[in-house]
């Protein structure tokens, strides 16, 4: 859960953004520049504006100023990217008239969470997961849009086939009175959410995450507990948000390296020994995180192979 990708080019500013600018714009000749007109990506990667998403996101983040894509070399922009053109005309027509699109970095997708096989099966019966909420090792530490499309098509088909082969199971009456969760108030949630981007965002640091994790634990431990019969959608969402931040922070602390979308200022190097290690949250009497080493097996999704 520590692998959270940030998309480097949302149209707009850090406080107001209006959708994604496809990486195809840079592929067709768009150049990233800062407010001074400097092609800063050349200092970060040999591919310049075509660098991987995590490197591009960090580079834009580290500019500490508004950045842009210079689209003057993109032929037929209006015809080739009609959706982006319409958004640019609506929200930043002055910049567009000069041949620039203002860009900012934004949280995008995760690269795995729930462990599954290639058919979406988990270790719980009748519980399946496909797509970017699953952990199939299909993405690695950097998500690709092309991989996501393939995963949705292939794993979705496999998952449907497996489910359709399962016998019907008897319905079980739930017992919500036996389950209790913390009742998180808005006053507790808001500051924790406000801190999350700086602490669990593009750049992370172990000391900052340690203190933040303590505050998350305190929020969950000190809250009044309620049963599911007392639950409302708002209370459930508050609890889930705090719990998700806790899980991400636990995982990010235990991955003591930088890899793809997970970048730690205090652990900037990639550790070869950690390449085949998943960070898994295990819930027993206490919540804790541990390293689980899993051999990556070569698998095929092609029939008859």
**Contacting residues for 169 by C-beta, under 8 A, at least 6 apart:** 126
* pLDDT computed for residue 287 by the predictor: 47
Residue pointed to by tokens 């930043």: 92
- Residue 126, phi-psi category: left (phi > 0), alpha (psi -120 to 50), beta (remainder): left
CA distance 211 to 155: 39
* pLDDT computed for residue 291 by the predictor: 47
Give the residue numbers annotated as catalytic, written as ranges: 53
Distances (CA, A) of 198 to 43, 53, 100, 223: 24, 19, 28, 25
**Contacting residues for 154 by C-beta, under 8 A, at least 6 apart:** 118, 301
User: Regarding beta strands 134-135 and 180-182, do their DSSP bridges make them parallel or antiparallel, or are they unpaired?
Assistant: unpaired
Domain boundaries, the chain: 4-110, 114-164, 176-293
| CB of 134 closer than 8 Å to CB of 113 | yes
| CB of 54 closer than 8 Å to CB of 6 | yes
| Strand ranges, E, within the chain | 4-12, 17-20, 31-34, 67-70, 100-110, 114-115, 134-135, 180-182, 225-227, 277-283, 287-293
CATH (residue range 176-293): 1.20.58.100
* pLDDT computed for residue 128 by the predictor: 94
Cα 199 versus chain centre, distance:
14
What are the average pLDDT values for consecutive 10-residue runs of the chain, which has 305 residues? 91 90 93 96 93 93 94 93 94 93 90 85 91 79 78 90 90 78 95 94 96 96 90 94 94 92 93 73 53 50 52
The closest of 301, 304, 16, 305 to 130, measured between CA atoms, is: 301
* pLDDT computed for residue 77 by the predictor: 94
CA distance 45 to 51: 6
* pLDDT computed for residue 252 by the predictor: 94
| CB of 203 closer than 8 Å to CB of 265 | yes
Give the predicted TM-score (pTM) of the model.
Answer: 0.82
CATH architecture of 4-110: Alpha-Beta Complex (3.90)
Return the percent helix, strand and coil in the chain, to nearest 5.
Answer: 40, 20, 40
* pLDDT computed for residue 289 by the predictor: 47
CA distance 136 to 296: 10
CA distance 193 to 244: 11
| CB of 80 closer than 8 Å to CB of 31 | no
- Residue 156, phi-psi category: left (phi > 0), alpha (psi -120 to 50), beta (remainder): alpha
Backbone angles phi, psi at 168, to 5 degrees: -65, 145
* pLDDT computed for residue 67 by the predictor: 96
Question: What is the number of alpha carbons within 13 Å of residue 142 lying toward its C-beta?
Answer: 14
- Residue 59, phi-psi category: left (phi > 0), alpha (psi -120 to 50), beta (remainder): alpha
């Amino acid at each position: 859960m520590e692998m959270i990708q940030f998309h480097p080019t949302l149209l707009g500013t850090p406080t107001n953004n209006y959708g994604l600018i496809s990486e195809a714009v840079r592929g067709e000749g768009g150049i990233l520049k800062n407010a001074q007109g400097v092609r800063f990506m050349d200092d970060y990667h040999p591919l310049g504006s075509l660098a991987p998403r995590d490197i591009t996101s960090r580079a834009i983040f580290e500019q500490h100023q508004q950045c842009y894509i210079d689209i003057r070399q993109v032929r037929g922009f209006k015809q080739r990217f009609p959706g982006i053109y319409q958004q640019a005309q609506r929200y930043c027509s002055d910049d567009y008239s000069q041949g620039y699109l203002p860009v900012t970095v934004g949280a995008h997708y995760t690269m795995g969470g729930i462990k599954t096989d290639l058919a979406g099966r988990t270790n719980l019966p009748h519980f399946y997961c496909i797509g970017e909420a699953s952990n199939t090792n299909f993405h690695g530490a950097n998500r690709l849009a092309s991989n996501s499309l393939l995963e949705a098509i292939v794993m979705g088909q496999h998952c449907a086939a497996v489910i359709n082969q399962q016998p019907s199971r008897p319905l079980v009456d739930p017992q919500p009175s036996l389950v209790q969760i913390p009742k998180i108030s808005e006053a507790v949630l808001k500051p924790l959410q406000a801190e999350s981007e700086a602490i669990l965002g593009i750049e992370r640091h172990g000391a900052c995450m340690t203190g933040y994790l303590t505050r998350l634990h305190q929020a969950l431990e000190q809250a009044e507990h309620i049963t599911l019969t007392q639950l409302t959608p708002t209370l459930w969402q508050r609890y889930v948000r705090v719990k998700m931040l806790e899980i991400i922070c636990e995982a990010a602390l235990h991955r003591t390296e930088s890899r793809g979308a997970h970048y730690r200022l205090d652990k900037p190097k990639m550790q070869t020994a950690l390449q085949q290690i998943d960070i898994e949250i295990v819930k027993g009497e206490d919540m804790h995180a541990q390293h689980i080493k899993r051999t990556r097996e070569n698998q095929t999704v092609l029939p008859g192979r």
